[in-house]
Structure 1
Amino acid sequence: MRITIDRDRFVETMKKQAEIGAIDGRGLNRLTLTDADREARDWFRDQMEAVGLDIRVDEMGNMFGRRPGIDPDAGTVLLGSHLDSQPQGGIYDGPLGIVAALEFVRTLEDEGIETERSVEVVNWTNEEGSRFQPAMMSSGVWAGEISLEDAYETMDVDGHRFIDELERIGYCGDVPAEPQYDYDSYLELHIEQGPYLDEGDYDVGIVTGIAALRWGEVTFFGQANHSGTTPMHYRSDALVATSDVVTQVRRLPGTLGERTVGTVGVLEVEPGSINIVPEEVRFTFDVRDPDDAVADEAVECVKEEIVAAAAREGVEWEYEKRMETESVSFADRCIEAVRAVVSDLGYDGRELVSGAGHDATYAAVVCDAAMVFAVSEDGKSHTPEEYTSWDDCYKAANTLANAALDLTGVETVGEN
């Protein structure tokens, strides 16, 4: 059996959510646990109530909407993504998966379809990790991979604790942040955030796994001094040492795997004066690869350069591991469910591994999982310039809906 979601309603819902926290008439600034996030959550709660879902909010603010199946003993199929955004993000990253999951449930109601398994829609808290780190924090707590206590004590750059902000916006639920049911499977729709589907003119992505991720933070401690009077051989310049490591992170991928990537995303220089030798520099690095061993090797290469750069420049250093996730291989049966739908709907699909982390990383710890990717034009993401056509959004959402239908098992079809 195949279903078709309501395109007009789906697009209208996407546009509606994009009004909350909108910037420049195109992108989003909807950081987690801000007032804009609260408004988006309230909107999402209203949508779930309108379709008759049983709503619960757990102690990490994860929002679940449940549609009971015919067999109470059958495992639940979970669908969703996140509503929070980057400070300068796009309207598709995260919300597309939320709206597609919601539209799937609406279609079940429209068609009078009863499923064997229960269906749940979820909005995960703080997937982005742009305000509170690590990313994917709340799905990590739910899966038992991150402690609730550590998550609660996490602070943003302004010194606000996660738990205080969660309570402030009114979304600290009393349900334990752990699976409340037996989960059969998890499906997540997301934009690719990369160029491969767009370059190959594909309709949809069949995601087979997620790359390993390693985040680190490095601080170099040098000696502040006058830039005009201090001879070069007297200097201990923390920024020069940093520059050597930044260059190594940029060049590293070409020496390791084909899919290895490396980025220095944050750099803070003290005292930050034009005529003072930099005394202290803090920076972050992010390396990823589908192979855990290659990702580990990349980190070791960065550490070796840290030691060498510090010795060359005569500075001290500190290193802190910020986040680490292992690569994920999705379940064959969930991948096959997506693959079969892509074929049946006549879409041109490509199988690929996600270079970005998603809540599916942690959901896959609890149950079988897979993902569907929508095309990202020019591979842009985490920017207001992020763009996926409504046609591509619709194809990906139809793929998710039908793959979810296959996993839930259709028991009856009739009039509501």
Structure 2
Amino acid sequence: MEIAETYERRDQELSAIGSDPTGGMTRLLYTDVWKAGQEYVKAEMEAFGMKAQYDAVGNLFGRIEGKELPEETIMSGSHIDTVVNGGHLDGQYGVLAALTAMEYLVSTYGQPKRSMEVISLAEEEGSRFPTVFWGSKNFVGEANNQEVAEITDANGLRFVDEMRRQGFDFKAAQAKREDIKAFVEIHIEQGSVLEKEQLQVAVVNNIVGQRRYTVVLKGQANHAGTTPMGYRHDAVYGFAKICSEAIDRAKEVGDPLVLTFGKVIPKPNTVNVVPGEVEFSIDCRHTDAAALKEFTEALEVRMKEIAAEHELGIEIELWMDELPIPMDQTIVDVIESQAEKGNYKYRMMHSGAGHDSQIIAPHYPTAMIFVPSIGGISHNPAENTNIEDLIEGIKILTDTLYELAY
């Protein structure tokens, strides 16, 4: 089989499921479009001899049994759900790349020594319901069913009802698997480092930790014309001080620390009223847990000081505190050795975005491969990667799976 031809066909066919007139794609968990996407992948698995089946919540597995060590499984894959009006590569590429790589290996070398399995996870993005990593959390036994028991989507449809409508039900008992010896996820970078450095692939050695906050500054709303500058308790002014000072400090610290104030809601948000309140978000990421904690705790102290200096009240809620996740060094070494042998233009790097691998890695040996993203664009209809880079990624994934499974 031809890797490029097979992958391109699958990408075109799967991308047609959930496509919209803007060129983007929407496949949300437990919708009919999502189920059609999973059914397409299942049919492609079965077409070349994989045993394909769903688990209780809709994760899809395609398996080739090993001839010598069938009790040891080498796994690769990702997710096919998308953000609303997203692109055709985030998640989907990892599923189709794994499927294409394994088909090539079987057609070229026959039955593997160890079992090989493609996984198409039910959900990663959290775009329909207020939950995230539902597929991978169920796969590793971390899911809390009570968290989704009463949640609904934007149209008021209940998570549990929609899950059951598609033929799934988390009440079915699932024992944690003990056969997984390696999980390798290939993904677009979703950043511009590889493109700027003109590299083909990256070997990912770490997924960043994240701390996210919601902060509310409370001052006093007042007339914009009759309130002298010295008498104001301007919440936007306090926010501006915090934002400016914090970003300057983050630039001083430098990579791999990143800091973002992504959501800002001033109130009353009117042209002729001094803002009496500002709610804003903070997203801070780092590959080192201690450095992340040190920076954000210092930021908490400084925000309180700035609020006091400007006679503002402040409420700080830390609602996400995720540790960095290192990749398995043995698998990282295997991928790097294949990159060296194949003369790929590559680098080592960390992932600044979250992935299913961060859920799987604490349970099974896990590593990731990145391919370039044009302009670093993702979660957007313009998301794209040169086909040559996509194919090179599948080739190094193929080489890695051969080393692990054969």
- TM-score scaled to structure 1, two decimals? 0.86
- Deviations along 1:197-229, one digit per CA (max 9) or x if unpaired, are 222221211122212222222233444444344
Tell me, yes or no, if structure 1 residue 360 matches structure 2 residue 357.
yes
| Pairing of 1:12-411 with structure 2 (within 5 A) | 12-71=9-68, 74-111=71-108, 113-133=110-130, 135-145=132-142, 147-153=144-150, 162-172=159-169, 175-176=172-173, 179-409=176-406
Deviation at 1:347, TM superposition (A): 1.7
- The Cα shift of 1:33 comes to 4.1
Whether the 8 Å contact between 1:189 and 1:371 is mirrored in structure 2 is: yes
- Distance in 1, Cα, partners of 2:36 & 2:389: 27
Deviations for 1:263-287, whole angstroms, at most 9, x for unmatched residues? 1222334443333443443332211
Structure 1 residues 245 and 63, CA, compared in 2 at 3 Å: closer, same or farther? farther
Instruction: Please give the secondary structure, in 2, of the residue aligned with 1:91.
Output: coil
Contact kept, 8 Å, 1:244 with 1:305, in 2: the verdict is no
Structure 1, residues 245-304: CA drift from partner, whole Å, max 9, x if none?
333443332132421111122233444333344344333221111111121123213312
User: 1:134·1:323 contact (CA, 8 Å) conserved in 2?
Assistant: no
Bigger Cα displacement from structure 2, 97-106 vs 14-23:
14-23
Gaps of at least 5 residues in structure 1 are: 410-416
Conserved? CA contact 2:217–2:313, under 8 Å: yes
Farther-moved stretch of structure 1 (245-254 vs 7-16): 245-254
The Cα shift of 1:103 comes to 1.0
What is the deviation of 1:375? 1.4
Count matched residues: 406
- Compute the displacement of 1:35 (Å): 4.5
Distance 1:313 1:33, change over 3 A: farther
Give how far 1:189 is off: 0.3
Q: Name the stretch that deviates more: 66-75 or 182-191.
A: 66-75
Inter-partner Cα distance in structure 1 for 2:345 and 2:44: 32
Q: Sequence identity of aligned pairs in percent?
A: 31
Q: Is the 8 A contact 1:58 1:172 kept in 2?
A: no
Q: In structure 1, the residue corresponding to 2:378 is in which secondary structure? A: coil
Deviation at 1:113, TM superposition (A): 1.5
Instruction: Compute the displacement of 1:102 (Å).
Output: 1.3
Tell me if the contact between 1:77 and 1:120 (Cα under 8 Å) persists in the aligned partners: yes
Rounded to whole Å, the distance in 1 between the matches of 2:125 and 2:381 is: 15
SS at match of 1:74: strand
323 and 391 in structure 1: CA distance in 2 versus 1, 3 angstrom threshold? same
Give the whole-Å Cα distance in 1 for the aligned partners of 2:214 and 2:192: 28
Structure 2 unaligned residues grouped into runs of 5+: none
In structure 2, distance between residues paired with 1:308 and 1:44: 55
SS of structure 2 residue aligned to 1:310: helix
Task: Find the residue that maps to 2:399 and give its secondary structure.
Answer: helix
1:154, distance to aligned residue in structure 2 (A): 5.2
- Say if 1:141 and 1:148, in contact at 8 Å, map to a contact too: no
User: 1:148 Cα deviation (Å)?
Assistant: 3.3
1:137 Cα deviation after fit: 4.2
After the TM superposition, which of the residue ranges 197-206 and 230-239 deviates more from structure 2? Answer: 230-239
In structure 1, what is the Cα distance between the partners aligned to 2:172 and 2:332? 31
